[in-house]
Structure formats: structure tokens, C-alpha cells
Amino acid sequence: APISTGVVSAAAECFVPDMPEIGGRGADKVRVDPHTERLADLPTVQARLAAGSVSIPTYVNVITAKALTADQQTAREQQVVRQVRVLNRAYSGRSAGDATNTPFRFSLERTRFVVDAEWATMGYGTAAEREAKAALRVGGPDTLNIYAADIGDDLLGWATFPQSYEA
């Protein structure tokens, strides 16, 4: 099978072909067989990016329609901390017997609480989503921004991949 060149992005076990290099933090050029199911199984990747060697700065934006009480805010902050622990457990290979210890770890830099009734119910691809992300986003394509809101439609959320990042 032919070997193609691409970039390992801030998402573990993800190969993004033809993505421009986004810097030394969270990305590294590697040669990847596109027919391989798991990127972490490739010796070239393991040799280039050691387990736990890529720290991804993570910013969480909790968006609500009304201001939270001090107790509600404390509870949400604790939920965010626990969720980042879950991410790190999963990406360090401790979430299941056959899980892979990846290079990626998430560093919670800040949790911000934002009150905005329109943003609190943003939907995928809406003006509210674009406005909220434009106003709240921190960092570049090597930074994870999470937006917690009441998005409705029985959705838990959606993701934007690094190759879709626009400065």
C-alpha cells in the first residue's frame, strides 16, 4: 500500500491528509499508511510523539441564558474538571483494556462563564454559533475550545476539526 504524508492533529488516532503544518505544539509531520486503522499502532508515530508529550491547552466556555448562582457555578466548575480528567484518562490509555496511550494530554487553562440568552441555545452552523466562537475563542488550531450550552435537538455536541480552523 502506498504511504502518504499528513499531519497528526490534536485529536488522537486521527490522520488528516494534506493539512498544512500548524506548528510544533500538538502536531508533527509523519508518514502514515492510510489503510491502517489505528494511528497509534504505527511505530513511526510512536517514535516521533512519545506518550503524553503533547499538551493541548484547553479552554471551556460555559454559556447560560441567566447568571448562575455561586453554588451552580461551583458545581459546573467541578464538572469541567472531572470531564478533563476523563479526557486525559481516555487519551492516556486507561479507559479500557485495549486503549492506546496516546501523545495527547489536555491542560485545563480556564473555565469562563458567559451569560448570553442567544448564544446559550446556539445551533450548529447558526449565526449565534459563529458569533459566540468568534468572541470567545482563545488560541489557534493547537488549542481546544469547548463551548457548553443548551444546544437542543437531543444533541450532545459537535466538533470542528483542526483543518477547518480559520484565523
Model pLDDT for residues 117-135, shown as the tens digit of each residue: 999 999 999 999 999 999 9
Rg (CA), the chain: 17
Measured distance CA(51)–CA(104) in Å, rounded: 7
Residue of 92 and 4 predicted with greater confidence: 92
Residue of 120 and 98 predicted with greater confidence: 120
Model pLDDT for residues 34-87, shown as the tens digit of each residue: 443 455 555 555 557 899 999 999 999 999 999 999 999 999 999 999 999 999
pLDDT confidence of residue 6: 34
pLDDT confidence of residue 47: 58
| Range 3-17 average pLDDT | 34
Residue 24 has pLDDT above 50, yes or no: no
Residue 153 has pLDDT above 80, yes or no: yes
Cβ–Cβ under 8 Å, residues 27 and 7: yes
> Rounded to a whole number, what is the distance in angstroms from the first to the last CA of the chain?
35
pLDDT band at 159 (very low <50, low <70, confident <90, very high): confident
Residue of 104 and 28 predicted with greater confidence: 104
| Dihedral sign for Cα atoms in the order 91, 94, 100, 101 | positive
Bridge partners, residue 113, by sequence: 62
3-state SS, one letter per residue, for 78-144: HHHHHHHHHHHHHHCCCCCCCCCCCCEEEEEEEEEEEECHHHHCCCCCCHHHHHHHHHHCCCCCCCE
pLDDT confidence of residue 160: 81
pLDDT confidence of residue 17: 35
Whole-number average pLDDT of the chain: 78
Percent of the chain with pLDDT over 90: 55
Measured distance CA(127)–CA(136) in Å, rounded: 14
pLDDT confidence of residue 23: 36
